[in-house]
Structure 1
């Protein structure tokens, strides 16, 4: 999976256990064909925005409180229901990417219990970092919450991928900013130094950060646009919190790599091949479009958002939203709908507010009616079997990450940037 923007996904792990068929669906819809937000079929009893947000936080609260130990460490399972919860199989791992988003979503609202839960997850990230079998500052892709509840570290996704490291760092810098607790900044600096020491590539142009390492130390030689967007935002925050300009210089390397991946028509390619230089042009993922804009704040990526609106929007029954890539635009990816809505809100061009609200309205409808939902959390996709284009399928199962992205979009809170005081 050279140059893939997709970090290690639960579907890839599950695929080793369960075979799933790709579902083929409807044709893509241009943005102009999407119904206005007030004609999404929300119907009587659909939650208004404030009620929807309260319910989404209730979902996260229950997930965080489910797996805690006596020392106050908590780790929410990432997915539940549908494909991942059957009479014979229950997939419970917690992905650090999702955990980071939940932390940041809690700081966005900032109630006392929100910060308590954010700190409980953040303390768990420090705990797994301190107790890693290699112990060089890295974290892993995912952990088992049942292990945390028993006071031990059980690694379920052993890879050390650059994007995951950066998201752990983004969560810890946000906690350091929100609480003033130096422990979180110290942990973030350890993560940042691991990324710099193990993934910086200043030999093969375009320079940037490679994919990370496998459990055995094998170097992933490709570079991902998504990963470099993550690093750019994370290192910028380290520079702000430490005052050390070296982190700004490193952030600029990552941002320059992202810029080198932008095509003439505005879309941003996924990254490079194994040689670290040749551009990997297919698939074209949503993350590379939206996160390039969110992480760098560079207006050049407005063209990437426009390309997304023209090429990646799906309509699946009553649901509207972006797909994961151009490979399959038959279903809405609600996690992506959250960060696309946020990117449009922050761009704030003509019509962007209405487009963002249409996406958020569809997510609220899914919160109420989507398969395998509980009326509170957000499922990952509008129906099962969305093909990412990177060798995995996505399912309509409740997802902490999708729920957190929705909350951040409603709040207008960019996880790649520290709040302005």
Structure 2
């Protein structure tokens, strides 16, 4: 999940710049169109669950329309206080797929068209997208989309490209619109041409982000397994499946069989990064949603137990107040072992973290993965996690704005300042990425699959 630090001048401000260093979306997917009831909410017999899912969808719609209501447009990733009008392509790919899964095809296509636009107008002309763009530039006719240059968001990471490709694949599958297929193929070819590796651990390298070109991310290779399989489906060309298998071989190579989880990746492309504070949640959840190999199913148990956390108002640096407490999971092992006396990444603009903060985006990912695994008690555990997210949706971020407009129904990134263990933080800011993952989980919709 791409996420900025609180600071506005960090040279390496996002997770995607650091992780290596350290039709519809499927027959089982319930839609939330204007008047339909999400099956997940119906199964729970909960009117609150239904209202909550509708509110999350409405939040994504409001943010998508915050700067313009017509034409191609991106969603601002966080509320106004964090990074202003910056929209990360990862967050927008999620928003696009969540809107599409929920039945709002018009807005999904508006975001997808904006992703095609920034791809087409990149000065390299080679099919890449940058990490993030200024959303406001889309509201000005004749103005070229502007990357987040002042924040250093100009690199191109394979993970961001893969998620954009997943969104375009879903749009191509649902609409049959040829430009989505062309944009998807440009992304897939860019990744193969520039990031495929046959040395060290194999797999695919990080991309073209300064200082990280040779790194390899487990998360990215998980993304690519799903992407290339969808490319093969959309194009009818089975040769893409070989690239999917190449990515999966890397993921298998970084499996920790002794402890039952996946390592985060490799700093040099050949040696596994086994840093104690960099054992992340999402490579566990995404591995199940993307690849789903039964022999690795225990990684979800490692995630739900080892990274479990509860944030209360009495914790050091907690942002919670009164009698409200919330449970879920942290971002990584680094979240739970952070030094609460030191600012995240050692940067003066970052907050001091709470080592019990809940990462709502990851909590939603875990809920979805558990539900789809469906081992004994998995669905009960998933329901509990979703209720915890809904409690945060009801209580946190209520006064925050996007483009000076108050929006409702969103999910904040974290319950309190959260040290990821990778040199950046999440905070109690409304986030389209966290809200999209919650909506996926509420609808039981897997963005890695048709």
Task: Say yes or no: does 1:269 pair with 2:253.
Answer: no
* 1:137 lines up with 2:119 in the alignment: no
CA contact (8 A) 1:261 1:268 kept: yes
SS at match of 2:205: strand
Q: Give distance in 2, aligned partners of 1:237 and 1:160.
A: 21
What is the CA distance between 1:182 and its match in structure 2? 1.4
Shift of residue 203 of structure 1? 2.4
Pick aligned residue for 1:281 from 271, 274, 286:
274
Return the alpha-carbon distance in structure 1 between the equivalents of residues 259 and 93 of structure 2: 33
What is the deviation of 1:303?
1.1
Q: Work out whether 1:386 is the aligned partner of 2:418.
A: yes
Q: Secondary structure at the match of 2:310?
A: strand
Residue of structure 1 equivalent to 2:29: none
Residue 181 (str. 1) matches residue 174 (str. 2): no
Structure 2: distance between partners of 1:69 and 1:398: 21
TM-score, normalised on structure 1?
A: 0.84
In 2, distance between residues paired with 1:62 and 1:375? Answer: 8
Please list the CA deviations of residues 20-72 of structure 1 after superposition, one character each: whole Å capped at 9, or x if unmatched: xxxxxxxxxxxxxxxxxxxxxxxxxx9701100111111111111112386x1
DSSP 3-state at the match of 2:261 = coil
CA distance in 1, matches of 2:212, 2:9: 24
Displaced runs of 4 or more, over 4 A: 371-375
State the Cα deviation string for residues 187-229 of structure 1 (Å, max 9, x = none). 001000000001000122x2100001036xx661010000000
Of 363-372 and 307-316, deviating more is 363-372
Task: Confirm or deny: 8 A CA contact 1:372 1:396 kept in the other structure.
Answer: no
Gaps of 5+ in 2: 14-45, 313-324, 337-355, 400-406
The Cα offsets for residues 64-112 of structure 1, whole Å up to 9 and x where unpaired, read as 1112386x1111100005x52xxxxx622000101011111112122xx
The aligned runs of 1:39-188 (5 Å cut-off) are 48-68=48-68, 72-80=71-79, 84=82, 91-110=84-103, 114-150=104-140, 151-156=143-148, 157-188=153-184
Number of matched pairs: 370
List runs of 5+ in structure 1 lacking aligned partners.
1-5, 20-45, 85-89
- The change in CA–CA distance for 1:316 and 1:94 in structure 2 (over 3 A counts) is same
Contact preservation (8 Å) 2:311, 2:327: yes
TM-score (norm 2): 0.79
Residues 372, 327 of structure 1: alpha-carbon distance in 2 compared, 3 angstrom cutoff: farther
* Correspondences of 1:200-239 after superposition (within 5 Å): 200-204=196-200, 206-214=201-209, 220-239=213-232
Partner of 1:304 in structure 2? 299
The secondary structure found in structure 2 opposite 1:315 is: strand
Residue 15 to residue 365, structure 1, CA distance change in 2 (3 Å): farther
Q: Distance in 2 between matches of 1:64 and 1:398?
A: 14
Name the CA distance, whole Å, in 1 between partners of 2:135 and 2:166. Answer: 21
Q: Which residue of 2 aligns with 1:397?
A: 429
Question: Residue 97 of structure 1: SS of its match in structure 2?
Answer: helix
Q: What SS does the aligned partner of 2:8 have?
A: helix
